[in-house]
Structure 1
Amino acid sequence: MTMTKPPLLIGALCALTLSLGACSGKQEEGRGNRAAQVGYVVVKQEPVPLTTSLGGRTVAFETSEVRPQVNGIIRRRLFTEGGFVRAGQPLYQIDASLYQAAVDQAAANLASARASVQAAEEKAKRFEPLAKIQAVSQQDYSDALAQARSARAAVAQNAAALETARINLRYTTLSAPISGRIGRSLVTPGGLASANQATPLAVIQQTDPIYVDMQQSSADLTRLRQALASGGVTPGSTSVRLKLEDGSDYGFAGTVQFSEVTVNEGTGTVTLRARFPNPQGLLLPGMFVTALFDQAVNPFAILVPQAAVQRDFDGSAFVYLVGKDNKAARRKIVAERTVGPNWVVTGGLKPGDKVITQGVGNLKAGAPVKPVPAGSPQRLGAGAGKGEAKGK
């Protein structure tokens, strides 16, 4: 037996269904038109340093190779390997017996030459009055004068030979040409030292202060110079900071000294050199470091919090602004670097623009917004709408 519903009941159900559908549609329409509360910041132009990060290597301030200038057997080593030596400090002693003998011989030759000059000058003096009265020939007198001059020249020659012999004798004691840390000795006592040998006896390096040589792309340097010439940026500071190989900060700041005037053909880079104090000897020659310095300052940059900047599929950056009639406006910008928590915007914005920084998650261009200054205590975004609904 088939049960049939009364026509009146069916009509009531249909009317109720249509009423609920209409109410639901009105609620969805109301929610869609409600303005989302967002936080914004008013951007302005301000000077922003353009920090450059470059890889570098430490270089000794001064380096000197200890090399012999005379030949001989090394008798003694007079320093401690790895220690600090001062300029003029004796380092090696070469056998000096042959050079002492050369000094003695040169001194004797000089004494003989001085004796000869005395005899020649006396002879010339005696011949002078005799030549005037023609007791001796003029030729004999001229020869006597020439012998005196020759004897004086011989004295000068022997004096120079004696000085040379004394210099060679001094060279038998090898002294430190500069102050600094000396490395290991590359020769032992008993070894032969030669004035023309290719290998130094030891190497001294001065590491306080110390240099850091940095490599910068010639293309980057050219862009910087063009920007400086056009007035787009101003020169920055010459102060340099260092990060060590383990990522820690070096405790002393350095100063840029100069940049090379030629480009390395193999790498396409230009070398910049900075000078750092190194009183504790923490920096050793040959270490890899990272140098950070403000190479220029952009006086017209605009800083925007990182939370406000979004990226398209092609990587281009954009932000939402509080537009006309309090509607969200999408704006493409140029943001290529960060400074702390902000993006440095160099294109797409102008001073006075209101950039939305809070509540940007579900924004769309043209959507109505209720803007408040960023950091206000009001609840932002979708949560604000729910809160308002509950309040009502």
Structure 2
Amino acid sequence: MKITSSSIAAASLLFPSLRQAGVAVLSVTLLAACSGGDKKDDKRGAAQVGFIVVQPSAVPLAVTLSGRTVAFETSEVRPQVTGVIVKRLFTEGSLVRAGQPLYQIDPSLYRAAVNQASADLASARATAEAASAKAQRFKPLADMEAVARQDYIDALAASRSAKASIAQNAATLDTARINLRFTTVPAPITGRIGRSLSTVGALASASQADPLAVIQRMDPIFVDMQQSATDITALRRKLAAGGVTPGSTQVHLRFDDGSQYASPGTVQFSDVTVDQGTGTVTLRARFPNPDGLLLPGMFVTAVFDQATDPSAFLVPQNAVQRDFDGTAFVMVVGGDNKAVRRKVTADRTQGVHTVVTSGLRKGDKVIVQGLNGLKQGAPIKPVAASSPQTVAPPSGKPGSGDSAGQPAAKDR
């Protein structure tokens, strides 16, 4: 049975008590009709989304490599003569200077060798003087044939032999003095010396396998980094093709606890051979280390911009979505204000952005807000993501179109 307004009016004349009930039924019917119409209109309406306009920019290709610190200079303190160590002249772990005495070896035998060589040299010089004088006396006599010519020749040869003996004994004396000087073992370089590997009373030998101590120079200090040969080859191909440009040589270090080393370093060189065991190439960076915070042998993480991609796009991370197979895609605003699904290549992130290297074009409008439930081809109402949105309070006036407790959202 269909209930109309005319039938309710007629019934109200016959039954006045039903007038109020009829008005209530009619009101409920009209409200239900209006409510159903609003839901239908909302379902058919376009969703409002926020977008950004992407532009290509030069994005550095940051590389993170594991590294290990290496002393700038390392020297093993070794004896050059044999003898018993009588003194240790340094403090273990201290900073020593080049030429500073470190050990004293018993010099008695070497001082005696110097004295003997000095005496032999004096004897050779005396013999040479006598032989030279004899040769000089025989020369005029030989010219007058007062003595045999052969006697003069023998005297001249003896004089020359005596002079050679002087040179030999002088060299022996120099050797003895050098050996005597070597009884004091100096520091070859300036650096931090470790613990002493020999004690007072130990026999030091010029042919021993172990050093007396080890000195390391740690300011500056090297960091050796290992990078896959495959990655280096791919980078060189991109550089040759012009797809990327060379990056910065500045390197930053991170420790195991996540903290960062204050002073940046500089890449010095890349090794020319590949490690056959690991398939990696060694890159060496140099860092200042005035406070000695970096110690040789530490494991660190090195981060530096190895190259720069001049045509990459920086897209907010929330705008890049993934399929079940891991393929990245974004939603862009189509020409007819419909959502368009676009596959992209996004292999890394930079801060709060994802670096997109392919799949986008200059001027594309990438949707970054309102992505929940958004599908391919869905009608949308695009607005700039930077546009502020305000919420107005309810007017409270009849006919204003806002229901009580429901504030109206307005775009500015």
Fold similarity call, TM over 0.5: yes
**Are 2:347 and 1:330 equivalent residues in the alignment?**
no
CA distance in 1, matches of 2:143, 2:264: 84
Shift of 1:390: 7.1
CA deviation vs aligned residue, 1:180-208 (integer Å, no higher than 9, x gap): 11111111111100101011110111111
Shift of 1:141: 1.4
CA distance in 1, matches of 2:197, 2:361: 67
Q: Is the 8 A contact 1:66 1:201 kept in 2?
A: yes
Q: Which has the higher Rg, Structure 1 or Structure 2?
A: 2
Structural mapping, 1:1-392, within 5 Å:
29-378=40-389, 391=408
CA distance in 1, matches of 2:107, 2:163: 31
Shift of 1:304: 0.7
Aligned residue type for 1:365: Q
CA distance in 1, matches of 2:110, 2:200: 19
CA distance in 2, matches of 1:363, 1:8: 42
Shift of 1:30: 2.5
Shift of 1:22: 8.8
Aligned CA-pair RMSD: 2.4
Q: Is the 8 A contact 1:238 1:294 kept in 2?
A: yes
SS at match of 1:257: strand
CA distance in 2, matches of 1:225, 1:263: 15
CA distance in 1, matches of 2:32, 2:345: 47
CA distance in 2, matches of 1:65, 1:276: 23
SS at match of 1:74: strand
1:379 and 1:225, CA in 2 relative to 1: closer, same or farther beyond 3 A? farther
Shift of 1:32: 2.8
CA distance in 1, matches of 2:141, 2:337: 127
CA distance in 2, matches of 1:148, 1:170: 33
1:137 and 1:285, CA in 2 relative to 1: closer, same or farther beyond 3 A? same
SS at match of 2:283: strand
TM-score relative to the length of structure 1:
0.91
CA deviation vs aligned residue, 1:16-45 (integer Å, no higher than 9, x gap): 9x9999988755542332111111111111
Q: Is the 8 A contact 1:71 1:193 kept in 2?
A: yes
TM-score relative to the length of structure 2:
0.87
SS at match of 2:262: coil
Aligned residue type for 2:145: Q
CA distance in 2, matches of 1:102, 1:367: 102
CA distance in 1, matches of 2:2, 2:80: 126
Moved more, 26-35 or 288-297: 26-35
CA distance in 2, matches of 1:136, 1:224: 91
Moved more, 31-40 or 265-274: 31-40
SS at match of 2:208: coil
CA distance in 2, matches of 1:37, 1:204: 70
SS at match of 1:210: strand
SS at match of 1:184: coil
CA deviation vs aligned residue, 1:224-277 (integer Å, no higher than 9, x gap): 111111111111111111101221110111111111000000000000111111
CA deviation vs aligned residue, 1:97-116 (integer Å, no higher than 9, x gap): 00000000000000011111
SS at match of 2:145: coil
Shift of 1:143: 1.3
SS at match of 1:326: coil
5+ residue gaps, structure 1: 1-6, 381-385
* Highest RCO, 1 vs 2 (Cα 8 Å, sep ≥ 6): 1
CA distance in 1, matches of 2:267, 2:318: 35
Q: How many residues align?
A: 376
Q: Is the 8 A contact 1:33 1:368 kept in 2?
A: no
> Between the two proteins, what is the percent identity of the paired residues?
66
Shift of 1:362: 1.4
CA distance in 2, matches of 1:54, 1:165: 53
